[in-house]
Chains A and B, each alone.
Chain A
Amino acid sequence: MRRSNWEIMMTMKFTALAAAALAMTFGNAALADAHSGKVKIGLITTLTGGGAALGVDTRDGFMLAIDQAANDAVEVVVEDDQRKPDVAVQVADKMIQSDKVDILTGIVWSNLALAVAPAANAQGKFYISTNAAPAQLAGKGCNKDYFAVSYQNDNMHEAAGAHATASGYTNAFILAPNYPAGQDSLTGFKRLYEGELAGELYTKLGQTDYAAEIAQIRASGADSIFFFLPGGMGISFLKQYADSGIELPVIGPSFSFDQGILQAVGDAALGIHNTSQWNKDIDNPTNKAFVETFQEAYDRLPTLYAAQAFDTANLILAAAGQADIADRDAFRAALKAADFNSVRGKFRFGNNQHPIQDIYVREVIKEGDVYTNKIISTILTDHQDVYAADCGLSD
Chain B
Amino acid sequence: MSIILLIEQILNGLQFGVMLFLMAAGLTLIFGVMGLINLAHGSLYMIGAFAAAAGAAATGSFVLGLIAALTSAALFGALIELTVIRRLYARDHLDQVLATFALILIFSEATRWVFGSFPLFLDTPAFLSGTVTLPGGILYSKYRLAIILIGLAVAVGLFLLISKTRVGMRIRAGENDREMIGALGVDISVLYTMVFALGAALAGLSGALVGAIQSVEVGMGEPVLILAFVVIVIGGIGSIKGALAGAILVGLTDTLGRTLLPVLFASFMDPSAATTVGSALASMLIYILMAGVLLFKPTGLFGSA
- Real complex partners, A and B? yes
Which residues of A are at the interface with B, using a C-beta cutoff of 8 A?
Answer: 48-50, 52-53, 56, 178, 183, 200-204, 206, 208-209, 211-213, 215-216, 218-219, 231-233, 235-236, 239-240, 243-245, 260-261, 263-267
Contact B275 A209 (CB under 8 A): no
Partner of B121, one of A211, A243, A245, A264: A264
Chain A residue at minimum C-beta to C-beta distance from B1 = A219
Contact B119 A203 (CB under 8 A): no
Which residues of B are at the interface with A, using a C-beta cutoff of 8 A?
Answer: 1-2, 4-5, 8-9, 12-13, 15-16, 108-109, 112, 117-121, 123-124, 129-131, 139, 141, 143-144, 210, 212-220, 223, 255, 258-259, 262, 271-272, 275-276, 279-280, 282-283
Contact A235 B218 (CB under 8 A): no
What 6 A-B pairs have minimum CB-CB distances, sorted nearest first? A232-B215, A235-B215, A264-B119, A211-B12, A245-B131, A202-B279
Closest Cβ of chain B: how far from A203's Cβ, in Å?
7
Q: How far is the CA of A56 from the CA of B121 in the complex (A)?
A: 19
Closest Cβ of chain A: how far from B18's Cβ, in Å?
12
Task: Provide the residues of chain A in CB contact with B131, threshold 8 Å.
Answer: 243-245
Known: A53-B117, A208-B223. 17 other contacts (CB 8 A): A48-B109, A49-B218, A56-B117, A203-B279, A204-B279, A206-B223, A208-B220, A209-B214, A212-B259, A219-B1, A232-B220, A235-B214, A235-B217, A243-B124, A243-B129, A243-B131, A263-B118
Chain B residue at minimum C-beta to C-beta distance from A54 = B117
Closest Cβ of chain A: how far from B112's Cβ, in Å?
7
The answer to whether residues A243 and B216 also contact, given A178-B280, A209-B16 and a CB cut-off of 8 A, is no
Contact A52 B220 (CB under 8 A): no
Task: Provide the residues of chain A in CB contact with B216, threshold 8 Å.
Answer: 264
The answer to whether residues A211 and B144 also contact, given A50-B218, A202-B275 and a CB cut-off of 8 A, is yes
Contact A178 B279 (CB under 8 A): yes
Task: Provide the residues of chain A in CB contact with B8, threshold 8 Å.
Answer: 215, 218
Contact A201 B275 (CB under 8 A): yes
Contact B16 A232 (CB under 8 A): no
Closest Cβ of chain A: how far from B86's Cβ, in Å?
29
Closest Cβ of chain B: how far from A99's Cβ, in Å?
25
Contact B16 A211 (CB under 8 A): yes
Q: How far is the CA of A203 from the CA of B280 in the complex (A)?
A: 9
Partner of A215, one of B212, B217, B223, B259: B259
Contact B283 A204 (CB under 8 A): yes
Q: Provide a sorted-by-A list of 19 A–B residue pairs whose CB atoms are within 8 angstroms.
A: A50-B217, A53-B119, A178-B279, A201-B262, A208-B214, A208-B220, A209-B12, A211-B16, A211-B141, A216-B5, A218-B8, A232-B217, A235-B217, A236-B215, A239-B215, A243-B129, A261-B118, A263-B119, A266-B121
Contact B218 A52 (CB under 8 A): yes
Closest Cβ of chain A: how far from B84's Cβ, in Å?
22
Contact B5 A215 (CB under 8 A): yes
Chain B residue at minimum C-beta to C-beta distance from A220 = B5
Task: Provide the residues of chain A in CB contact with B109, threshold 8 Å.
Answer: 48
Task: Provide the residues of chain B in CB contact with A200, threshold 8 Å.
Answer: 271-272, 275
Contact B214 A211 (CB under 8 A): no
Partner of A243, one of B118, B119, B141: B141
Task: Provide the residues of chain A in CB contact with B210, threshold 8 Å.
Answer: 208
Contact B119 A232 (CB under 8 A): yes
Task: Provide the residues of chain A in CB contact with B112, threshold 8 Å.
Answer: 48, 52
Contact B108 A212 (CB under 8 A): no
Task: Provide the residues of chain A in CB contact with B9, threshold 8 Å.
Answer: 212, 215
Contact B215 A219 (CB under 8 A): no
Task: Provide the residues of chain A in CB contact with B2, threshold 8 Å.
Answer: 219
Partner of B213, one of A56, A243, A266: A243
The answer to whether residues A260 and B5 also contact, given A232-B220, A243-B130 and a CB cut-off of 8 A, is no
Partner of B214, one of A212, A232, A261: A232
Partner of B123, one of A213, A232, A266: A266
Closest Cβ of chain A: how far from B2's Cβ, in Å?
6
Q: How far is the CA of A183 from the CA of B272 in the complex (A)?
A: 11
Partner of B215, one of A49, A201, A208: A208
Q: How far is the CA of A263 from the CA of B216 in the complex (A)?
A: 11
The answer to whether residues A261 and B119 also contact, given A200-B272, A202-B279 and a CB cut-off of 8 A, is yes
Contact B255 A211 (CB under 8 A): yes
Task: Provide the residues of chain A in CB contact with B271, threshold 8 Å.
Answer: 200
Task: Provide the residues of chain A in CB contact with B119, threshold 8 Å.
Answer: 53, 232, 235, 260-261, 263-264
The answer to whether residues A219 and B5 also contact, given A211-B144, A244-B131, A244-B141 and a CB cut-off of 8 A, is yes
